[in-house]
Amino acid sequence: QKEVEQDPGPLSVPEGAIVSLNCTYSNSAFQYFMWYRQYSRKGPELLMYTYSSGNKEDGRFTAQVDKSSKYISLFIRDSQPSDSATYLCAMSVQQRGGADGLTFGKGTHLIIQP
């Protein structure tokens, strides 16, 4: 079993729809949770990060973390064709004085149809 599971898609939705992207994980030590967006031929771009459980909102994006269920979500409201990209969840265990690097899901390919 992979540490982080993410449906690769593709997920195709009409413009203006609410998009829900999800990841599950197995390592209960993860404390920091991130969502990255990656366009073709580009590096990943950080969209949201949250610490521990709870919700965080930034414009059209909302990130949710449920540590009890080991489940994280990213919601995109009023989706636009420019949101078409691969969305990667990532997690890390913050250690004092060190870092484990990020553990990524494989990404969900999202297509917003005009």
Partner 1 sequence: KAGVTQTPRYLIKTRGQQVTLSCSPISGHRSVSWYQQTPGQGLQFLFEYFSETQRNKGNFPGRFSGRQFSNSRSEMNVSTLELGDSALYLCASSLSGGYGYTFGSGTRLTVV
Site residues (vs partner 1, CB under 8 A): 32, 34, 36, 41-46, 49, 51, 88, 90, 92, 94-95, 98-107
With b for 16 or more beta-carbon neighbours within 10 A and e for fewer, the 15-43 pattern comes to: eeeebebbbbbeeeebbbbbbbbeeeeee
For residue 69, give both structure tokens: 């269920």
Nearest to partner 1 of 17, 49 (CB atom)? 49
- Least separation, in Å, of the C-beta of 83 and partner 1? 19
Instruction: Please state, in angstroms and rounded to a whole number, the distance separating the CA atoms of residues 69 and 59.
Output: 26
- Least separation, in Å, of the C-beta of 18 and partner 1? 26
For residue 67, give both structure tokens: 């540590």
- Least separation, in Å, of the C-beta of 87 and partner 1? 12
Cβ atoms 46, 36 nearer than 8 A: yes
- Least separation, in Å, of the C-beta of 67 and partner 1? 16
50, with CB counted inside 10 A (0-12, 13-18, 19+), is: middle
Nearest to partner 1 of 99, 111 (CB atom)? 99
Nearest to partner 1 of 85, 90 (CB atom)? 90
Nearest to partner 1 of 66, 100 (CB atom)? 100
